[in-house]
Amino acid sequence: MAEIRGAVELPARREDIELTTRDGLTLVGELALPAGRAPVATLVTLHPLPTAGGFMDSHIIRKAAARLPELAGLAVLRFNTRGTSSPRGTSDGAFGDGVAEEADVAAAMAFVAERGLPNPWLLGWSFGTELALKYGREHPVRGMILLSPPLHRATDDDLRAWNGDERPVVALIPEFDDFLRPAEAAERFSVAPGIRLIAVEDGKHLWVGEKQTYRVLSEIVGLTAPEALPLPTEYP
């Protein structure tokens, strides 16, 4: 048995993909599918702020794609938003400060529909949570998972828009977040009481370390494929 940690990559069917936006841009990405079975649900991932080093390989998103197809039967779609680079390549266009990226979210969801990927969930991290909150409601997602939401670009009106929406929206708030800690988050999210907040003890904005990674991935799986819990820590 080998310990599951760090950059370990478990079996999956991995495919380099391209998304086409309605304004004519090509976004580069990857789709990871379970190796020997159909996926039970799909994670559409939205990465942290590209002007601060966020991209499709930001570690929680990369580890979700590396582990969860095998461990939880999830499909994981990750891609670089416009103007963002990673080893996979550079997406067309330029950073749109969370405005032009509305079309990037739409392109990802169009790809999900085209491929017939089941039960899509939006998984946003930091800047990605802003895109999810602002633009996710118009798409047929089963729910949303928000990691370290800063609420810089997402306004109170964006939050209120989710009132009355029955789809689950769950936000993981790190105890020692750089931008929004649990007490302040409770106040900011109070305008949308249907959004569930989970304060994560000892958590930090970047979720560094295997303990935090395991906690985040477990929360994701608990919402999207709960029958796969508890996640194993070793693999043959």
CATH number for 212: 3.40.50.1820
Domain span at 130:
13-226
User: Per the domain annotation, does 156 fall within a domain?
Assistant: yes
User: Per the domain annotation, does 5 fall within a domain?
Assistant: no
Q: What is the pLDDT of residue 156?
A: 98
Percent pLDDT > 70 in the chain is 100
Q: Quickly state the pLDDT bin for 144 (edges 50, 70, 90).
A: very high
Q: What is the pLDDT of residue 36?
A: 92
User: Per the domain annotation, does 93 fall within a domain?
Assistant: yes
Q: What is the pLDDT of residue 75?
A: 99
Percent pLDDT > 90 in the chain is 100
Q: Is residue 226 classed exposed, middle or buried when 0-12, 13-18 and 19+ CB atoms within 10 A define those classes?
A: exposed
User: Per the domain annotation, does 40 fall within a domain?
Assistant: yes
Q: Quickly state the pLDDT bin for 147 (edges 50, 70, 90).
A: very high
Q: What is the pLDDT of residue 97?
A: 98
The pLDDT tens digits for 17-65 are: 999 999 999 999 999 999 999 999 999 999 999 999 999 999 999 999 9
Contact 31, 38 (CB under 8 A): no
> For the chain, what is the mean pLDDT?
98
Beta strands at 143-147 and 169-174: parallel, antiparallel or unpaired: parallel
User: Per the domain annotation, does 234 fall within a domain?
Assistant: no
User: Per the domain annotation, does 166 fall within a domain?
Assistant: yes
The pLDDT tens digits for 205-225 are: 999 999 999 999 999 999 999
If one counts the domains in the chain, the total is 1
User: Per the domain annotation, does 236 fall within a domain?
Assistant: no
